Amino acid sequence: MFLDKKGYDVTPVNSGSDALEHCESTNFDVVFLDENMPGMSGLETLTHIKSMKPSLPVVMITKSEEEHIMEEAIASKIADYLIKPLNPNQILLSVKKILDNKRLVNEKVNLDYQQEFQKISMAVNGNLDHNEWADIYKKLVYWELEFENTQNKEMTEILNMQMLEANTNFARYIKKNYQYWMDEDNEDKPILSHRLFESKVLPHIQKDRPTVFLVVDNMRLDQWKIIEPFILESFRLESFETYYSILPTTTAYSRNAIFSGLLPLEMANRHSDIWVGEDQEGGKNNYEEDFLKRHLASQGIDTKVSYNKIKNLSQGRMMIDNIPNILQNDLSVIVYNFVDMLSHARTEMEIIRELAPNEAAYRSITRSWFIHSPLYESIKRIADHGAKLIISTDHGTIRVKKPFKIIGDRNTNTNLRYKVGKNLNFDENKIFFIRDPEVLHLPKVNVSSAYVFAMEDLFFAYPNNYNYYVNYYRDTFQHGGLSLEEMIIPIISLNSK
């Protein structure tokens, strides 16, 4: 009677067998089910209903408080479990949670973001410091994930425009302040790549407990947030922070800086035997282990260290079985390359572009990969051994949309988000141009070398074969430049449960 007055159509039946007949012939939105009924029990009826219509929500309303009944009902994926005595409003609340949840959540998310929109807009146009910019980016990622769950396209478009506005103003902030961050005596600066290891990893190393530093290459803040729940099944979150990647936001610069504890110019000067410059052939990140060992030696740190780089599936599977050996060390560094490979595959393979046309789909692929990956299994085994786990990345990535014409000679590098070379020709208004690289502690390829960084969602394109080049690279995920997504990245500290 109560639900009828609230506008719901209710069909009562006398037994479990009657319920099954009605469910077979009629489509219901929700079933209320008692455990104690004449003939077939509630749990038996539940089993038959779920085998017939797995997605039909079932609420058990019973006076039984027996634990095994609750457990079996929960295991059968019931929508709710209510214990008598109860009042009609409790049943109404359960109905609304099941039938109106999506609509109510959508309305609440939209209302909350509308209230937050003005605050964020005012903030991004204000005089923010590096901590406040990190907070703004966290908020934008939060709303991005909220709208992904509600699938509200209109509000998502508004958020995308606000993200672009934030990136425009963030770029101006970086152009104005980045040079001052290079001053070691300047205390008003964020943790940068070359200070990450000594600030957030070294303090956790203990002789009586193994510490694992996991670097997932090319992982954005939003990608961390969608794999975080799976990792927190095995670990307790001690701290979640962000730091800033140095420029260029690429592996050759930012990840080498993490392990060496040095900025690129100092790496090139002090370790010329293992630094691979822009004008040299060969991989730019083949000497990370050497940089790490030299860094520890320079700090006078004598500890057992292992370094493990995982570049493909077979290496990942081998690592699972090798976790006990890896954890014999005080510090174990693991570099996992999948996310970087995913971004490159999305550029080069049409099928990956189809599967990941936007950020939401890109996150979805990341989540799907992670829960089926050797990395996930390895993380669970690390937790089983009671190890400390620190997770981070070297840089993020951004989906590029607008081409920016640039002209360079044959020796100019190929990255789409930054260029280094001589005699570069471009419009200076929408990029970050550095005539003297040494000011930013970047090495010169030759005397007249200059660096150019793309901002917002721009990507560099040459006039030659321009249309083909633009169509091929537009809407791909790239890194190397200057954006919230590329520069503000997570550092997470976890303790095994």
pLDDT tens digits, residue range 302-314? Answer: 889 999 999 888 9
Q: Please give the Cα distance from 106 to 118 (Å, whole number).
A: 19
- The pLDDT value given to residue 285: 86
Tokens, residue 391: 């997770």
Higher pLDDT, 237 or 96: 237
Q: Identify whether the C-beta of residue 229 lies closer than 8 Å to the C-beta of residue 370.
A: no
- Helix (H) or strand (E) holding 238, with range, is strand 235-244
- The pLDDT value given to residue 448: 82
Q: Which residue has the tokens 């606000």?
A: 162
- The pLDDT value given to residue 343: 67
- Helix (H) or strand (E) holding 211, with range, is strand 211-216
Residue 278 has pLDDT above 90, yes or no: no
Give me the percent of the chain exceeding a pLDDT of 90: 59
- Helix (H) or strand (E) holding 264, with range, is helix 264-270
Question: Is the bond leading into 190 cis (omega within 30 degrees of zero)?
Answer: no
Mean pLDDT for all residues in the chain? 90
- The pLDDT value given to residue 105: 78
- The pLDDT value given to residue 156: 86
Contacting residues for 346 by C-beta, under 8 A, at least 6 apart: 352, 353, 356, 362, 476, 477
CATH of 193-398+486-496, picked from 3.40.50.920, 3.40.190.10, 3.40.720.10, 3.20.20.70, is: 3.40.720.10
Average pLDDT, stretch 232-252? 96
Confidence of residue 67 (pLDDT cuts 50, 70, 90): confident
Instruction: Kindly report, as residue ranges, where domains of CATH 3.40.50.2300 are found in the chain.
Output: 2-99
Residue 137 has pLDDT above 90, yes or no: yes
- The pLDDT value given to residue 187: 84
Confidence of residue 349 (pLDDT cuts 50, 70, 90): low
- The pLDDT value given to residue 348: 62
- The pLDDT value given to residue 346: 60
- The pLDDT value given to residue 264: 96
- The pLDDT value given to residue 201: 96
Confidence of residue 175 (pLDDT cuts 50, 70, 90): very high
Average pLDDT, stretch 55-83? 82
- The pLDDT value given to residue 401: 93
CATH class of 2-99: alpha beta
Instruction: Kindly report, as residue ranges, where domains of CATH 3.40.720.10 are found in the chain.
Output: 193-398+486-496
Residue 321 has pLDDT above 90, yes or no: yes
Question: Is the bond leading into 248 cis (omega within 30 degrees of zero)?
Answer: yes
Which of 55-64, 205-214, 319-328 has the least mean pLDDT? 55-64
Average pLDDT, stretch 278-285? 80
99-to-51, 81, 109 alpha-carbon distances in Å:
21, 16, 17
- The pLDDT value given to residue 388: 96
Q: Please give the Cα distance from 289 to 315 (Å, whole number).
A: 17
- The pLDDT value given to residue 221: 97
- The pLDDT value given to residue 357: 72
- The pLDDT value given to residue 347: 61
Higher pLDDT, 439 or 352: 439
Q: Please give the Cα distance from 369 to 269 (Å, whole number).
A: 40
In a 13 Å sphere around the CA of 375, the CA atoms on its Cβ side amount to: 29
